[in-house]
Structure 1
Amino acid sequence: MLVGVPKEIKNQEYRVGLTPAGTRELVGRGHQVLVQKDAGAAVGLPDEAYVAAGATVCGDAQEIFARADMIIKVKEPQAVERAMLRRGQILYTYLHLAPDREQATDLIASGAVCIAYETITGPGGGLPLLAPMSEVAGRMSIQVAAAHLEKPAGGMGLLLAGVPGVAPGHVVVIGGGTVGTNALQMAVGMGARVTILDTNVERLRHLDLIFGNRITTMFSSAHSLERCVASADAVIGAVLIPGATAPKLVTRNMISTMKKGAVVVDVAIDQGGCFETSHPTTHAEPTFVVDGVVHYCVANMPGAVARTSTFALTNATLAHAIALAGKGWKRAMSDDPHLRAGLNVCEGQVTHEAVAKALGHKYVHAEELLA
């Protein structure tokens, strides 16, 4: 199979979908790899490293999309990229389709086989291709919150860790999954006062066993959210419903009760965000202010630490890329129900139930297209 790796073109996105090490694995199995010039340069992976691994480097994305049987990317294809997709071509990347009707419409029209990292499941449960970026984003969320609480960044001028004689800041984390747990780890390590909310009492019990009296756990309800958000210096939105639009748990009214100069970080913004006041931002202009509260809603947070993120992501995505290249998408998905869960759009049909529901499209079981 000819595997194509275009350079990412989303605003300030520096990650790359395949490393030279991954290239070597594919080439060693008899596949061809075509990489766009400078695709990995921003993260210290020069063209020469890809060539040494057996890849061919080309000058433009048009050639890659025209020739490749499978496109491996990081972020969802932009409009110019979607226009180059063709029927039967495999697209293997993050998609986050539920809040993005325009992208979904274009992918359906393309007839391509669109596999989303974020809905591929794992044998032990969870979302193993989303997990590494959730780990990065969760840890970054506290780093970002601490930076934007500083006065020059628009915050209230608070040191999240505090100092002797001055209380630390209060961090509220909504959601106890991978993002929330990693945010907890960073916030606790920094010395902040931390509260986490979740509707899963077993998860809260587990976090309590890990962090003990260094955190406060609370069952998430409208009442507990109102109280916690109002008292917070920083709120981390870490809510996920796989494939679906994130629920708007924090209302505009709750935001209005927060301290002036407080910070909210909406890590769920890829799936539409869990704050009613959120809208996607970029690394170029990462924040906006609503009712005196600084909102950080960058839709590709891990792109800011692109080198770490590239290696963490490709460690997780390579095995499925090898299976798709070696078997073709139909056999690979027939053999692996976890990979099959990643099929979101295929040959003009929506094949993920949560995505179909969010977009109001007919849902077609992936098995029907594999039969």
Structure 2
Amino acid sequence: MSPSPARRNKDPPPLFKEMILNAKKTRCDIESASEIDIEMETDETLDYSKKFMNMMENIINRLNKIEEDRKIDDQTRVTNESSKPPQNERDILNKLIAKNEELTLQIEELHRIIAGNNNKKAPKQQTYAERLGNNKEDLQPTRQLHPLPPPPNKFINLLKQGNVLIRVKNEGEKPFQHMGAEQIAKKVEEALDKIQASINNEKISIKSVIKYNSGDIRFFTKNKAQANWMLENRHKWTHIADPLFIKSQALFPVLLHSVPTFFDIKDEVDIQEFCNENSIPRDCIKKLRWVGDPITQEKSNGSMIIHLSEKELARELIRCHLAFKRIHIKPTPYQAGPPQCYNCLKLGHIAHFCKNKPTCAKCGKDHNTKTCKKANS
């Protein structure tokens, strides 16, 4: 039996009523889903299951509210509500269905993300040592760094504490007799002040003194440069500090090769000619001697040792070339052999410290060479 016309005009079509309810429900679902902000952080583990349950509770609450609103609307709906054309109802329904499908896909994607994050383990934090080990290449310099050159010896000597040992002869009276260390230091400082001894405008001072039983004296200075100056210039201040404290001038030897044997080392004319030809001050040459005896062996050339009083002059001669009567002479640094004792004739020490029995260099017997009768006869 078909419904009466009066009933048809009073109630809206079932399709339209269902469409309105679905529209409200879907709109609420979309609004609820849009309010959920999902932030994915790689370094932290989030409880996605809890968030999803909260979202579902919000959706259920919205659906309950929509159901209550629908009941109220049914009771208060106006009986003469006009109906919309069927074509518009289908279009709205299709849009709502599309929205519903889109929301369903988003919920499925959310389920998939939650399941993946639950299975994912939290990354293990690396220790400081592990981070350094993994970044070895980053820690390597981009270019090879060249080491800085070492400072010159002149600068190093200014920082090191220096000392110098001044030896005295075994024979005769010793200097600074019956004097203590403080008195010796004052005497030496007075002598240094008298000759205005200084290095880089800094006066040379004595820090401490050691006097040995043999008569040798060791002086301690502020740095090595001052000690070297006292040793190289000992002939300038020792006799001023004590008349018995006389020391010879320090000499710096240079070895000369290919020197013609007609060079007479005892002839002042030849020595002066050699100095003029090589621009060497005559007073700087203190001693000349042949190595071996090339004249007796009738050699045309030989090696000679020249002793100079200036250290810088000796260094300059080694770096240049010399000549005598236009004959080329090659200078080289002099390297002394092991020390030989003139008391026992053994190597490795000098007669000043020798405690062995004397040995004669002429006959080989147990007496000093100076007292050998065979040598004197």
Regarding TM over 0.5, the answer is no
TM-score of the pair, normalised by structure 1: 0.22
- Larger relative contact order (Cα-Cα within 8 Å, sequence gap ≥ 6): 1
